């Protein structure tokens, strides 16, 4: 198939990933190409040049409009909307079989655009006012919508969801996150360093449990870093930078427990299944889809309950490493995910 993949524009779709949405688009493009599809990535122009890129905007917008993603800045909205509108026009005229809409833009959801192009839209966020109505009004025959978890589905559609909406969990390549049979006795945390990811809670719980903790990931919120993270570093708590690929997989896999600390209704939690693929059990916070994703591979605690999270660390350490690894192989592999995407493309194209 000839597939247009429309990405979010805040960051480049390139390693090291700024977050799960960038990883989702990168692995989707790479995986579909490996399966023989002709993929054009509509993304920020500074995305990974290994892909065929049709730039929606020349450079990711966090570079030109730093810190304005959720602040309703009129200049940013005009900049992004203009790029998406022109990109949607090029997609409609580009001879594509299907569009995989991985953006958070309302524009690909307009009825006139959905009538012109079979579309699969992947939702990566809880419902919010700027997008909710457009998503719920976009249910037309050639449009399929996916959410990453049952918890996210219920957030968007508290009653029964429409038949064209389905749960499509994220997946990882187990070869890229190799199983390691033993841990080093320490804890590890990975993700965007920002308040909703709960880095401060991971630090507090690791200290209470008496475990060394290593943090990995990009510093997204500099004020949060300066006020709540940097002052708590030192001794057994260290920040080891923003790694990607094999280097990050090695560091995650050598740990004995992974701390997953969402402070919002996390729709999925890709970092958790990356660690689980390596055989690392999870101690986490029961927000959003955490319980659904982690299952028997970890132990969860209520939000903002550091003693309970420290106790969850102890419980997770007792879980055999084959348990999280087996859960990923059963439910969350990239092959399962890609195969389901291909089925959805066929459904949308034939509708």
User: Which among 125, 136, 285, 130 is positioned nearest to 205, based on CA atoms?
Assistant: 285
Across the chain, the runs of DSSP E, i.e. the strands, are 2-7, 38-44, 52-57, 98-102, 119-122, 143-147, 165-167, 187-190, 213-216, 237-239, 257-260, 282-285, 298-301
Q: Hey, what are 115's tokens?
A: 């009538």
Q: Is residue 110 exposed (0-12), middle (13-18) or buried (19+ Cβ within 10 Å)?
A: middle
Domains of the chain: 2-170+334-350 (3.40.50.2000), 187-331 (3.40.50.2000)
Average pLDDT over residues 125-138: 90
Confidence class for position 119, pLDDT limits 50, 70, 90: very high
Give per-residue pLDDT as tens, 206-237. 999 999 999 999 999 999 999 999 999 999 99
Given a contact cutoff of 8 angstroms between Cβ atoms, the answer to whether 13 and 25 are in contact is: yes
Question: Around Cβ 74, how many Cβ atoms within 10 Å?
Answer: 8
Give per-residue pLDDT as tens, 19-41. 889 999 999 999 999 999 999 99
* pLDDT for 67 beyond 80: no
Give per-residue pLDDT as tens, 180-215. 999 999 999 999 999 999 999 999 999 999 999 999
**Taking the alpha carbons of 24, 201, 297, 264 in that order, is the dihedral positive or negative?**
negative
Q: What is the dihedral of CA 283, 284, 290, 294, to 10 degrees?
A: 0
Give per-residue pLDDT as tens, 37-56. 999 999 999 999 999 999 99
Confidence class for position 75, pLDDT limits 50, 70, 90: confident
Q: Is residue 38 exposed (0-12), middle (13-18) or buried (19+ Cβ within 10 Å)?
A: middle
Q: What is the dihedral of CA 242, 243, 248, 254, to 10 degrees?
A: -60
User: Which among 96, 99, 101 is positioned nearest to 134, based on CA atoms?
Assistant: 101
Compute the chain's Rg from CA coordinates.
20
Q: How far apart (Å, rounded) are the C-alpha atoms in residues 11 and 173?
A: 23
For residue 69, the model assigns a pLDDT of 67
Helices 306-317 and 199-209, packing angle to 10 deg? 70
Per-residue DSSP letter, 48: -
Beta 298-301 vs 257-260: how paired, if at all? Answer: unpaired
- Tell me which residue has tokens 């905007």: 57
Beta 187-190 vs 165-167: how paired, if at all? Answer: unpaired
Average pLDDT over residues 90-119: 96
Q: How far apart (Å, rounded) are the C-alpha atoms in residues 233 and 238?
A: 6
Q: What is the mean pLDDT of the chain?
A: 95
Give per-residue pLDDT as tens, 296-333. 999 999 999 999 999 999 999 999 999 999 999 999 99
Rounded to 5°, the CA angle 332-336-339 comes to 150
Q: How far apart (Å, rounded) are the C-alpha atoms in residues 261 and 303?
A: 8
For residue 68, the model assigns a pLDDT of 61
Helices 270-277 and 245-253, packing angle to 10 deg? 70
For residue 7, the model assigns a pLDDT of 97
For residue 129, the model assigns a pLDDT of 83
Residue 263 phi, psi dihedral angles, 5° rounding? -110, 20
Average pLDDT over residues 51-64: 92
> How far is residue 104 CA from its own chain's centroid?
13
């Amino acid at each position: 198939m000839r597939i247009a993949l429309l990405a979010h524009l805040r960051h480049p779709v390139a390693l090291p990933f700024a977050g799960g949405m960038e990883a989702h688009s990168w692995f989707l493009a790479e995986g579909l190409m490996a399966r023989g599809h002709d993929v054009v990535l509509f993304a920020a122009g500074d995305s990974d040049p290994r892909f065929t890129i049709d730039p929606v905007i020349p450079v990711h917008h966090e570079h030109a409009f730093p810190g304005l993603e959720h602040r309703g800045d009129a200049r940013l909205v005009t900049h992004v909307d203009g790029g998406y509108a022109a990109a949607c026009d090029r997609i409609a005229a580009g001879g594509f079989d299907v569009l995989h809409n991985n953006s958070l833009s309302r524009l690909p959801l307009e009825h006139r655009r959905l009538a012109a192009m079979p579309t699969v839209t992947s939702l990566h966020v809880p419902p919010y006012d700027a997008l909710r109505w457009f998503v719920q009004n976009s249910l037309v025959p050639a449009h399929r919508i996916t959410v990453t978890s049952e918890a996210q589905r219920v957030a968007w559609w508290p009653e029964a969801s429409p038949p064209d909406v389905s749960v499509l969990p994220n997946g990882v390549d187990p070869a890229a996150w190799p199983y390691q049979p033993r841990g080093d006795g320490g804890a590890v945390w990975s993700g965007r360093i920002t308040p909703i990811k709960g880095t401060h809670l991971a630090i507090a719980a690791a200290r209470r449990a008496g475990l060394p903790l290593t943090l990995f990931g990009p510093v997204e919120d500099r004020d949060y870093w300066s006020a709540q993270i940097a002052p708590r570093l030192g001794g057994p708590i260290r920040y080891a930078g923003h790694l990607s690929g094999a280097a990050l997989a090695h560091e995650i896999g050598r740990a004995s427990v992974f701390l997953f600390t969402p402070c919002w209704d996390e729709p999925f939690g890709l970092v958790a299944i990356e660690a689980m693929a390596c055989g690392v059990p999870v101690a986490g916070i029961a927000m959003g889809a955490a319980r659904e994703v982690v299952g028997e591979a970890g132990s969860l605690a209520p939000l903002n309950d550091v003693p309970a999270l420290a106790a969850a660390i102890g419980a997770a350490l007792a879980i055999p490493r084959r348990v999280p690894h087996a859960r990923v192989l059963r439910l969350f592999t990239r092959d399962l995910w890609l195969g389901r995407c291909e089925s959805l493309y066929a459904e949308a194209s034939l509708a």
